[in-house]
Structure 1
Amino acid sequence: MGSEPLIVPDTLEDSRVKDIGMVTHPPHVRFYAGVPLIDDAGMVLGTLCAVDTRPQTISEEQTRALTALGNQVMQLLRLRKSSKCWKQGNGSCMNPDSGSTAPTANCAA
Structure 2
Amino acid sequence: MKSVIPDFVSELYRSANEVSKTSTFERRRLVERAARMIAEQRIQLAATGNVVSMPSSVVAGLATILPQIDDMPDPLMSHILLECADEIRKLHVLWAKTK
TM-score interval, normalised by the smaller of the two chains: 0.3 to 0.5
Q: Which has the higher contact order (CA 8 A, sep 6+)?
A: 2
Normalised to the residue count of structure 2, the TM-score between the two structures is 0.38
> Which has more radius of gyration?
1
When normalised by structure 1's length, the TM-score is 0.35
Q: Comparing both structures, which one devotes a greater share of its residues to strand?
A: 1
